Amino acid sequence: MLGRNMIFTIGLTLLLVNMVVAEDIIQPIHQEMLEKNNVLRATRGLPPHELDKSLIQAAQDHAEFMARTGSRSHYSNGGPGVRVRRFNWKGGGCLENIAWSQNGVASVFQTWRNSGGHWGNMTSRTNKAGFGYAISANGTKCWVAVYGTEK
């Protein structure tokens, strides 16, 4: 039978492990993408997005799926709504940008800036964002941005 101290220790250990895993989700590329995203939002007088771990996981999952399978669709891998729910997104609906073959963050955001629909997603009334990046076996860079509003 477990005593109170043992249960507390197990619970605290699980909490700390979850915190470490959650912090490891945010990679430097995600932060770089957020910064570029928010610079572009500021040109329209919009408030910055904040990173959301569920949206990061959904975006990263789709970037890795695109890199692994060669699929270049919003609706593969379950679609954006299914993906965000898979990673416990508690907010409302989501918007998604995908791209491939751009060499860096500046290039991918310029591509999205020059596309009406993608620019609309970036400058939407959403307040949370998640980003994903992966490289396929043949070297193709895959980029994903997911935007949502926290409830």
Q: Give the pLDDT confidence of 24-50 residue by residue, as tens digits.
A: 789 999 999 999 999 999 999 999 999
Q: Quote the CA–CA distance of 72 and 100 in Å, as a whole number.
A: 8
Phi and psi (nearest 5°) for 66?
-60, -45
Tokens 């193709």 correspond to what residue?
140
Query: Tell me, what DSSP letter sits at residue 49?
Result: P
Q: Give the pLDDT confidence of 74-115 residue by residue, as tens digits.
A: 888 878 999 999 999 999 999 999 999 999 999 999 999 999
**Per-residue tokens: 72:** 């270049």
Which residues pair with residue 98 across a beta bridge? 144
- What value does the CA radius of gyration of the chain take, rounded to a whole number of Å? 17
Report pLDDT for 23. Answer: 56
Report pLDDT for 75. Answer: 86
